Amino acid sequence: MALKRTHTIQELNPGMAGHPVVLTGWVNTRRDHGGLIFVDLRDRSGLVQVVFNPEISRPAFELAERIRNEYVIAVAGTVRMRPEGTVNPNLPTGEIEVYASELELLNTAKTPPFYLEDNIQVDEILRLRYRYLDLRRQEMKNNMVLRHRVIKSLRNFLDERGFLEIETPILTKSSPEGARDYLVPSRIHPGEFYALPQSPQIFKQILMVAGIEKYYQVARCFRDEDLRADRQPEFTQLDIEMSFIDEEDIMELTESMLARAFADGIGRQISVPFPRMTYDEAMKFYGTDKPDLRFGLVIQDLTDLLRESEFKVFATAINSGGVVRAINAQGCASMSRKEIDDLVKLAIDLGARGLAWIQVTDEGMKSPIIKFISPEELDGIASRLEAKPGDLLLFCADFEDTVARVLGGIRLELGRRLQLIDEDALSFVWVTDFPLLEWDEEEKRYIAVHHPFTSPQDPEQLEAAPQSAKARAYDLVLNGTEIGGGSIRIHSRTLQDKMFALLGLTAEEVADKFGYMLEAFEYGAPPHGGIAFGLDRLIMLMAKRDSIRDVIAFPKTQSASCPMTHAPSTVREEQLKELNIKTIIK
Residue 31, burial from CB neighbour count under 10 angstroms (0-12, 13-18, 19+): exposed
Distance CA 221, CA 230 (A): 14
Distance CA 11, CA 207 (A): 45
SS3 183: strand
* 88 near RNA, rule: CB under 7 A: yes
The DSSP symbol for 139 reads H
Question: What's the min distance (Å) between Cβ of 552 and RNA?
Answer: 12
* 516 near RNA, rule: CB under 7 A: no
> Which of 228, 307, 366, 416 touches RNA (CB under 7 A)?
228
DSSP track, 30-89: EEE-SS-EEEEEEETTEEEEEEE-TTT-HHHHHHHTT--TT-EEEEEEEEEEPPTT---T
The DSSP symbol for 149 reads H
* 36 near RNA, rule: CB under 7 A: yes
* 266 near RNA, rule: CB under 7 A: no
| 227 within 8 A of 233, measured Cβ to Cβ | yes
Distance CA 229, CA 247 (A): 30
* 226 near RNA, rule: CB under 7 A: yes
| 352 within 8 A of 396, measured Cβ to Cβ | yes
* 54 near RNA, rule: CB under 7 A: yes
Count, residues near RNA per rule CB under 7 A:
69
Helix pair angle (247-266, 138-160), 10° resolution: 140
> Which of 17, 45, 78, 82 touches RNA (CB under 7 A)?
82
> Which of 15, 18, 34, 267 touches RNA (CB under 7 A)?
34
> Which of 3, 5, 22, 29 touches RNA (CB under 7 A)?
29
Question: What's the min distance (Å) between Cβ of 121 and RNA?
Answer: 5
The CA R_g of the chain, rounded to the nearest whole Å, is: 30
* 71 near RNA, rule: CB under 7 A: no
300 phi and psi, to 5 degrees? -115, 140
* 443 near RNA, rule: CB under 7 A: no
* 292 near RNA, rule: CB under 7 A: no
**CA-closest candidate to residue 330, choices 387, 403, 292, 285:** 387
* 40 near RNA, rule: CB under 7 A: yes
Single out the segment in contact with RNA by CB under 7 A; choices: 243-251, 297-305, 523-531, 558-566: 558-566
> Which of 164, 229, 425, 567 touches RNA (CB under 7 A)?
229
* 31 near RNA, rule: CB under 7 A: yes
* 467 near RNA, rule: CB under 7 A: no
* 391 near RNA, rule: CB under 7 A: no
Task: Please name the helix (run of DSSP H) or strand (run of DSSP E) that holds residue 364, with its range, or none.
Answer: strand 364-366
Single out the segment in contact with RNA by CB under 7 A; choices: 120-128, 309-317, 321-329, 417-425: 120-128
| 240 within 8 A of 531, measured Cβ to Cβ | yes
> Which of 106, 164, 171, 179 touches RNA (CB under 7 A)?
179
* 126 near RNA, rule: CB under 7 A: yes
Distance CA 188, CA 171 (A): 14
Distance CA 194, CA 216 (A): 23
**Cα dihedral 474→428→147→225 (10° resolution):** 50
The DSSP symbol for 15 reads G
Distance CA 219, CA 513 (A): 22
* 570 near RNA, rule: CB under 7 A: no
Single out the segment in contact with RNA by CB under 7 A; choices: 89-97, 246-254, 300-308, 460-468: 89-97
* 136 near RNA, rule: CB under 7 A: no
Q: 343-382 mask for RNA (x: CB under 7 A)? A: ------x---------------------------------
Rank residues 85 and 368 by Cβ distance to RNA and give the closer one.
85
Rank residues 68 and 189 by Cβ distance to RNA and give the closer one.
68
Single out the segment in contact with RNA by CB under 7 A; choices: 194-202, 332-340, 384-392, 427-435: 194-202
Single out the segment in contact with RNA by CB under 7 A; choices: 124-132, 250-258, 378-386, 569-577: 124-132
> Which of 33, 338, 371, 586 touches RNA (CB under 7 A)?
33
Distance CA 270, CA 284 (A): 27
* 486 near RNA, rule: CB under 7 A: no
Binding residues for RNA, per CB under 7 A? 29, 31-36, 38, 40, 49, 51, 53-55, 68-69, 82-83, 85-88, 90-91, 94, 97, 111, 113-115, 120-126, 175, 177-180, 198-199, 201, 223, 225-231, 349, 405, 447-452, 546-547, 549, 557-559, 561, 563
